[in-house]
Amino acid sequence: MGVEKKWRYNHFGNVIEVQNTHKAEYLFINGEKQDERTGIFSWLPYMQATLNTGETVIAVIGGNFRMHCKIYIDNVLIFVEKG
């Protein structure tokens, strides 16, 4: 995949990983790919998955010169990292 930037967050034993590459963005939960965005004109501005607890995870990647990642669980911002 050629990962350019990777963010990781542990939420009560669930490892949430967001990856940004040249060609796509990926959302993994516990090592399994749950969602991806490909192409520069992807129609959804976020990636989404559901944890085994039923909680909804939303990951947003953005930035002009520096990439940043935000992770929300059930619409509550729980992680922000600027690269």
Looking at residue 41, what is its pLDDT?
59
Domains identified in the chain and CATH numbers: 3-82 (2.40.128.180)
Band of pLDDT at residue 12, cut at 50, 70 and 90:
very high
CA separation for the pair 55, 49 (Å, rounded): 9
Query: What is the full DSSP assignment across the chain?
Result: --EEEEEEEEETTEEEEEEEESSEEEEEETTEEEEEEESTT-S-SSEEEE-TTS-EEEEEEE-SSS-EEEEEETTEEEEEEE-
Nearest to 59 by CA among 83, 40, 75, 43: 75
What's the pTM value of the predicted model, to 2 decimals? 0.88
Mean pLDDT (whole number) for 11-35: 95
User: Which pLDDT tens digit goes with each residue over 16-25?
Assistant: 999 988 888 9
